[in-house]
Amino acid sequence: MMAQTKVLLIDDETEFASALAERLRLRNYSAKAVYPAEDALEIVRSDMPDVVLLDFRMPGMDGVEVLKRIKAIESTIEVIMITGHGDIQSIEEALKGGAYEYIMKPINIKDLVIKIDAAKTKRRSSR
């Protein structure tokens, strides 16, 4: 039996993140929502998630900065950026910075699951 995919959600909209984590748990993912970013980075260090879902726009440390720090901790962790704004420049910057993919709010759970599974497969092949 394959181990559950570990997903960490980092988003300042904590109700949204908690609800999304619950929807992922119902689909048999090990999902946890954490904010602020500093706390999330501690969990990245201790738990080593397979995939991180990361909001672009957060007060304080923005998504691109958090992405850089995640990649510095463990470069094989795949990061899917979440945006509600469709800011193409930010998306391009994040993809250049090592993000695997991005998804727009409102999130379609089926699309998200496909992206998470693809990111997990990529991570497994890069280890």
| pTM of the predicted protein model | 0.95
Residue-range domains of the chain with CATH:
6-120 (3.40.50.2300)
User: What's the distance, CA 15 to chain centroid?
Assistant: 16
- For residue 36, is the peptide bond before it cis, meaning its omega torsion is within 30 degrees of 0? yes
Determine the pLDDT at residue 117: 98
pLDDT at 127: 73
By percentage, how much of the chain surpasses pLDDT 70?
A: 98
pLDDT digits (tens, 9 = 90+) for 67-125: 999 999 999 999 999 998 777 888 899 999 999 999 999 999 999 999 999 999 999 88
